[in-house]
Structure 1
């Protein structure tokens, strides 16, 4: 066996199967497309399900891939062992009803023994206990000795997941030698020890399971082969685990250099090195596929991985953001196989750096709160049952400070504390339900695509060229079931064989309009795609009725489509302008194009200045007024990329794509509808710029008559303002407003001056009534309707007049709440007193909270009738602090 690097192994595998007439496909993005059952791609087969299930036709009946994968069920174990990781690559060869067992087995053996040169006596094979066919191929045709074969049961050698295609499998194991074994005479393949390592799994999908134990033979059985690239590299490089293979080691060495530690010297630092190494691999690829840190879904997976890695950086003594630096090594080690990493390198590193900096800012604050929670639990140590962190507190850490639950769990387990996971999960579920309801309210009723799953006719979209199309009704869904007819007043979904209606996709909303036959009119409210890609015309039968097979006229709302076209084309010009003004790191992160607005989400890490927004607006309007022709062409994806066409980040495109070119300035891949010339957009106006997620900004804008409406509304509002100020002309507004501002500032100055004099007088009176607590003066006073900033001013003046003082002032406001201010002078601080801790203790007794510096702090209270009780305890609080 010859030592072989990870990148060479990948290439050898893919080239080998290309020589067997397989089509090499690039890795699919980690974000599953059209598969709601998966959060992230977790196996080589996952993106192939559509081919196995017959939902799509593969480019070839023989396919080979190296698929990037993420699995997170064992995230808490990553680092603690050298076996677990979240990111891995899966080599695979697939047959969709083409070759079967004989070829799959022969090629696996050929690749191992002839291409990689693995000694035959080092390889062992398992087959399913009833699969005599596979056993005979291995022994009689390949020549594997019987003592290197083993039959295993359903749990080990039968692949099945619910219903659908399934079947027996055959696995190839590498024998690492007796020194890695358990030493028992019966040690063999299937033993739990480290001697036999499974490296290749061939699944023979030959049955259709109904999930009830009944298996029907498939007419066209399939092959699904999977092999972990890193695991194979361990064998070929003679190392113990994935953290020691070449590309992964290079990443770890970079981390070791930053931290000033060496792998293998200390168990605790080894754990942290493994965590960071694994997590930065995962996060670099996730961001490279367009995933951003968020508090839900795959964005939450990314966030928890990044934050766990950042915390372990802290444990190694790294006190600055560093993960983005290591991400560059991840990119360097993988860019030949995954060129998108190199293409998006600046974007990837900026997203990671922004999230790490954000976490660093909240880490100390969140850790302070967590350690306070731990201290409370520690104070009840006589009751072992009390060593539980409530789910509510864990949720607060997650919701307020972005602490992933596993990070909280990891920290408190070191202290022997558990989390009330059930309560935490209840609160999480409530949050998910709120989000789900919000989504549903925005999206409206979703029509199930399952009822259309059996449709199998070619549907033609004519909407690029036509606004009216003659068509035939192919399916009707009414009342959540298929129907032959839709009657007046009924809501329904119609599926046509030809349609000019654009179905919502790529951020562009669906068309509205009518489907008619004589006097029968079906009003189309929306158009969406079913799971099987059929255009669904969603609406209501306004008059008459329509039946299956009817020849109808489909007519879109032309004026609305024109407005949508304007906004969509403006979105393309907007991205061009943003990249020119802000930099090449700008990529589309989402969009929504309607007849009234264009909303564009893009990667950027700070708010745009007014000057930047003005510059972007000017560039877009200049391009509009330049009357640039808009050309739309279809071409192969590779040719489109050579033309410099911008693609949607992380999107998987077909071999032939639609390219929209606006005068050689904006060139993008897009399936939407557009104007024929930029001049048709009319005008472009930015309405707002805001943040929607970490590292993602949003611009909302409008075009054409939308700009006209904005101008009319602005004119009306200015006229109202002028009338309110009794001005004859709106041109006088700026001068009048400046005068009012100046007048207000002068009044504020006089009020502050008077309040300062009142505060000084009041403080002198309060100090005369001070009491002594262990030699320190204590002033406590309650007031009504005094603003918090005045309380703070009075505290400051009191400290100026007394060097050893604690002052507690509170004021009940009109809203039946109280503000509490605490001041501690320098001599009192030396005795152990702390204003922030004192205000927190006081307010906790009266339904509030607070905090601040040692010398000055503020808080609030809601139980105003209990304040006097709390105030009476202040001397004891002071004595307690002095003792500590």
Structure 2
């Protein structure tokens, strides 16, 4: 057999199965669609589960793919071994009730022996121990030598996952030769050594399992095969592991070029090179499929991989951001199969660079904290509180903390860390919680028998409706009266339900003496029912009542202005900043629009003005805004922008403002851009790494903003005693200069007072055990003054150990310093200040000669200072 490159192998496989009538499908996204059971796609068949179950009709009964996959359960092993990786490609051919064992086995053998020209005597086949049918096919039809057939048990050769479709497997192994084996006389297929490599797994899905050991034959059995592309490349290229495969080795060479570290010269450095190589492959593909770094879910996996790779870069002695440079090589090596990576190259590179730079800013502080812990010989376990602080304050993933400390033999209290994390998430959820809706509608409220609500609000702002259900405190009731807060479900409604970032409509629902204020409209979990959250003002309402629904028209008009403005804003941002800009979230209300978008640095004043002017230009051009429904493929051809992660059906609603903005959208919009009146950006800022946020106003919101700004200017004039508003800036600058001068004078006076106070503290001390211990407390002194006093003290007296405390606004700051002679005696400021701070309900640390700490209990300051002497004496040699 001939050496074959990875990209060539992929194409040979897909072309071969195309010749057998299989439809070649492109790799599905790493982000699962309509499947909450998976965080990321982890196998070739995972994106096609619904084809196998019959929920969705496949585009053809025979399919072949090369699927991108991510698996992270063994992430700690990646790099340590040469076998483990998080990213891989899975070659597969699938039959949905079409061909079965005869074809699957024959084609697999043909591909290996004819297309790839693998020697038949190097191939071995395993089957499920009771699958006589497969044995007969392999030996009598395919022609495999019986001596190369192996029967294995259920654990190895029967695919089953609870109840549902299942069946026996047949695996093909490649014999790499006795020199790769363990040398044992009974070495055979299934041995743990490296001689026999499992390359291809053919799953014959022919039974339905009830999960209790009972199996029923399927009427239409399926074929699901999977073969790791990298593993196949190892065999064809005669290398021992995936990191030596051509395309992957080229990525590693780029890392070596940047870091100056060659693979194969140092075992520890080889681990780091493997980690970086694997993780940059994973992260490049994940970002290409729309995953962004975050602290939850897919984003956390991405962040964890990037930070782990960055940390291993530091272990190689390279502290500058560099991963973003390597992703160009990843894209180049995978260009033939994944050309979309090239289109997103700028975006991927920027995301990685921003995350690297963000991590670099906090990692040094986190490492200092970890270093202090490692230096403390008494620490055997890192507390959950410290682990949480590292995660919450310094951005250290718990896995990275564990990995670093375990290298030093220090454990981490992960259980306590998870408790604290859980508490934090609960606080976050409680802060966001919509108490009213959660109280009225719960998971236990059964509305399955209620008909779907018809939404007429695109064209009608009021309509006649019928009450289908009434819910109060999560329970369905038949009637409700004055003073009650309820949810009304109607057969028809003009009220827009909160979705796509647009808030729900408000208004009134009434009939005769009955009147209710609608203060929010949402949807149930199925998305088919509109939930009108109401407060009944008068009368009563029953299930079956006929009512009249009227939305707040002025509020709706304000909302539609802001929603259309959000579309124009996105188009303007892409034109000014570049096509890497994508919507990352939005909130459109009657008072403002909040638009989150992917970008990697703060917008300049010039860019903000340019975007604002461009949106206003489109408003002044009075462009007609059209909304229409069309097949999704037609919408894509128009270039309609889709929100990443949003689920769309076969038919979509497209909103367009001429050629300037074309987007998928289910929200409400103005008829003409001129209806927006004016557009004003109020502020721009960061919400996450690589994600910026703009808050903006339209229509009356702009007028209100101008009036508030004018009022602020008039107020500033009054405060500065200026008659002419044009002189406000000059007056503010003069006031600022005066304040700076006064602050400088105050700082100089404080410094003189601190010197006098330090002398006072020294005056009451004497040298004992070779050191002079100086302690004292002050009030209304900041941390800088405290540190300066300590530095001055240790320079004045090399044998001194100084510990000072200051109380400001009920917060305590401690500073400790050790002179050169005191250090030689064994004193350590970092350990001293940590012990003292803990006595006052705080914590901290730092260098042996100078350290700072904080505490929460001012009443315990004197008690904390009283233990300084014993703490120091316990350290002395």
Name the TM-score, length of structure 1 as normaliser.
Answer: 0.84
Cα distance between partner residues in 2 of 1:160 and 1:512:
52
**Hey, what's the Cα distance between the residues in 1 that align with 2:710 and 2:396?**
48
Structure 2 stretches of 5 or more lacking a match?
none
Alignment match of 1:696 (pick from 691, 698, 710): 691
Q: Which moved more, 1:227-236 or 1:647-656?
A: 647-656
- C-alpha deviations, 1:575-629, integer Å up to 9, x for none? 2332344444333222233444322222223333444433332322222222223
2:408 pairs with 1:415: yes
Distance (Å, rounded) in 2 between the aligned partners of 1:869 and 1:527: 57
The 8 Å contact of residues 498 and 504 in structure 2, kept in 1 or not, is answered as yes
Q: 1:392 aligned to 2:366?
A: no
Residues 814, 837 of structure 1: alpha-carbon distance in 2 compared, 3 angstrom cutoff: closer
Work out whether 1:401 is the aligned partner of 2:421.
Answer: no
State the 1:77 CA deviation.
0.9
**Match of residue 45 from structure 2:** 45
Match of 2:610 among 601, 606, 615: 615
| Structure 1 residue 406, shift from structure 2 partner | 2.7
Pair 1:34-2:34 in alignment? yes
Stretches of structure 1 that go unaligned for 5 or more consecutive residues are 381-386
CA distance in 1, matches of 2:470, 2:217: 33
Cα 1:197–1:750 shift into 2, 3 Å: closer
CA contact (8 A) 1:806 1:822 kept: no
CA distance in 1, matches of 2:16, 2:65: 11
1:204: which partner in 2? 204
Contact 1:503–1:535 at 8 Å: present in 2 too?
A: no
Structure 1 CA distance for aligned equivalents of residues 130 and 449 of structure 2:
35
Superposed displacement of residue 278, structure 1: 0.8
The count of residues paired between Structure 1 and Structure 2 equals: 867
Is the Cα contact below 8 Å between 2:325 and 2:349 reproduced in 1? yes
Moved more, 350-359 or 214-223: 214-223
Deviation of 1:537 after TM superposition, in Å, equals 1.8
Is 1:424 the equivalent of 2:417? yes
- SS of the residue 2:392 aligns to: helix
Which region of structure 1 is more displaced relative to structure 2, 96-105 or 748-757? Answer: 748-757
Match of 1:847, SS state, is coil
Can you list the C-alpha shifts for 1:639-675, whole angstroms capped at 9, x where unaligned? 7666655444577877776554433233444454433
Change (3 A) 1:135 1:660: farther
Task: Determine the C-alpha separation between the residues in 1 that align with 2:760 and 2:186.
Answer: 92
2:373 pairs with 1:373 = yes
Q: Distance in 2 between matches of 1:361 and 1:79?
A: 25
Looking at structure 1, the residues matched to 475 and 154 of structure 2 have their Cα atoms a distance apart, in angstroms, of 40
1:585 is aligned to 2:605: no
How much does 1:315 deviate?
Answer: 2.0
Contact 1:486 1:492 in 2 (8 A): no
Is this contact kept in 2: 1:515–1:524, CA < 8 A?
no
Q: Could you say which residue in structure 2 is the equivalent of 1:538?
A: 531
2:340 alignment partner in structure 1: 340
Q: Secondary structure at the match of 1:691?
A: strand
Partner of 1:112: 112
Q: How does 1:435-474 map to 2 (within 5 A)?
A: 435-438=428-431, 440-441=433-434, 444-445=437-438
2: CA distance between counterparts of 1:826 and 1:684? Answer: 64
**Do structure 1's residue 629 and structure 2's residue 624 form an aligned pair?**
yes
Rounded Cα–Cα distance in structure 2 between residues aligned with 1:6 and 1:642: 33
Contact 1:101/1:204, CA 8 A, preserved across alignment: yes
- For 2:514 and 2:34, how far apart are their aligned partners in 1? 35
After superposition, the CA RMSD in angstroms is: 4.5
- 1:705 and 2:700 matched: yes
Q: Sort the Cα spacing of 1:637 and 1:746 in 2 relative to 1 into closer, same or farther, 3 A.
A: same
2:355 matched to which residue of 1? 355
Structure 2 CA distance for partners of 1:818 and 1:369, relative to 1, 3 Å: closer
**Which of 837, 847, 850 is the matching residue for 2:841?**
847
The alignment status of 1:156 with 2:156, answered yes or no, reads yes
Deviation at 1:840, TM superposition (A): 4.6
Q: Is the 8 A contact 1:252 1:274 kept in 2?
A: yes
Counterpart secondary structure, 2:594: strand
Cα distance 1:769–1:546, how it changes in 2: closer, same or farther (>3 A)? closer
Deviation at residue 88 of structure 1 after TM alignment: 0.8
Deviation at 1:464, TM superposition (A): 5.7
Output aligned runs, 1:227-238, within 5 Å.
227-238=227-238
- Show the counterpart of 1:123: 123
Structure-2 change in CA distance of 1:836 and 1:271 (3 Å): closer
Deviates further, 833-842 or 268-277: 833-842
Following TM superposition, by how much is the alpha carbon of 1:333 offset from its aligned partner in structure 2, in angstroms?
A: 1.0
Larger displacement relative to structure 2 (242-251 or 393-402): 393-402
Quote the residue 1:384 is aligned against: none
Q: Distance in 2 between matches of 1:825 and 1:375?
A: 20
Contact 1:791/1:809, CA 8 A, preserved across alignment:
no
Q: 1:544 Cα shift?
A: 4.2
- Rounded to whole Å, the distance in 2 between the matches of 1:297 and 1:12 is 36
1: distance between equivalents of 2:551 and 2:59?
A: 34
**Structure 2 CA distance for aligned equivalents of residues 433 and 482 of structure 1:** 25
Write the distance in 1 (CA, Å) between the matches of 2:43 and 2:737.
67
Change in Cα spacing, 1:265 to 1:818, as seen in structure 2 (3 Å) is: closer
Aligned residue in 2 for 1:605: 600
SS of 1:223's equivalent? strand
Q: Could you tell me how far 1:337 is from its partner in structure 2?
A: 1.7
Name the SS of the counterpart of 1:201 in structure 2.
strand
Report how far residue 85 of structure 1 moved.
0.7
Contact 1:394 1:419 in 2 (8 A): yes
Tell me: CA distance 1:447–1:839, structure 2 relative to 1, closer, same or farther (3 Å). Answer: closer
The residue that corresponds to 2:266 in the other structure is 266
Mapped partners of 1:116, 1:503: distance in 2: 58
Measure, in 2, the Cα distance between the counterparts of 1:554 and 1:203. 57
Q: Which residue of 2 aligns with 1:573?
A: 568
For residues 598 and 569 of structure 2, the distance between their equivalents in structure 1, rounded to whole angstroms, comes to: 13
Asked if structure 1 preserves the Cα contact closer than 8 Å seen for 2:524 and 2:531, the reply is no
Structure 2 distance, partners of 1:152, 1:759, is: 81
Distance in 1 of aligned mates of 2:169 and 2:705? 65
Asked whether the 8 Å contact 2:632–2:650 carries over to 1, the reply is yes
Check 1:712–1:519 CA distance in 2 against 1; reply closer, same or farther (3 A cut). Answer: same
1:422 CA drift (Å): 2.9
Answer yes or no: is the 8 Å Cα contact 1:471–1:553 preserved in 2: yes
Matched residues in 2 for 1:529 and 1:61: separation? 36
Q: CA deviation at 1:230?
A: 1.3
1:332-376 alpha-carbon deviations (Å, 9 max, x no partner) = 111232223111112211221222223233333322322322333
Please state whether the residue corresponding to 1:589 is helix, strand or coil: strand
Checking the alignment, whether the CA contact within 8 Å between 2:818 and 2:849 is kept in structure 1 is yes
8 Å Cα contact 1:808-1:820 kept in structure 2: no
- Which residue of 681, 684, 687 maps to 2:679? 684
Is the alpha carbon distance of 1:811 and 1:3 closer, same or farther for their aligned partners in structure 2, counting shifts above 3 Å? closer
Q: CA deviation at 1:264?
A: 2.8
Q: Secondary structure at the match of 1:617?
A: helix
Q: Following the alignment from structure 1 to structure 2, what is the Cα–Cα distance between the partners of residues 512 and 140?
A: 74
Instruction: Give, in angstroms, the shift of residue 109 of structure 1.
Output: 3.5
Q: 1:652-709 CA deviation, whole Å, 9 max, x = no partner?
A: 8777765544332334444544333221222223333232222211222232333344
* Distance in structure 2 (CA, Å) of the matches to 1:765 and 1:451: 76
CA distance in 1, matches of 2:784, 2:108: 77
Query: What whole-Å deviation, never above 9, does each CA across 1:754-780 have from its counterpart, x for those lacking one?
Result: 545655655666666564468877654
| Residue correspondence of structure 1 range 10-409 to structure 2 within 5 A | 10-184=10-184, 186-376=186-376, 378-379=377-378, 387-409=380-402
* TM superposition shift of 1:282: 0.8
| Contact residue 524 and residue 538 of structure 1 kept, 8 A | no
Q: CA deviation at 1:71?
A: 0.7
- In the alignment, is the contact (CA less than 8 A) between 1:510 and 1:528 conserved in 2? no
State how far apart, in whole Å, the 2-side matches of 1:15 and 1:848 are.
Answer: 66
Shift of 1:573: 1.8
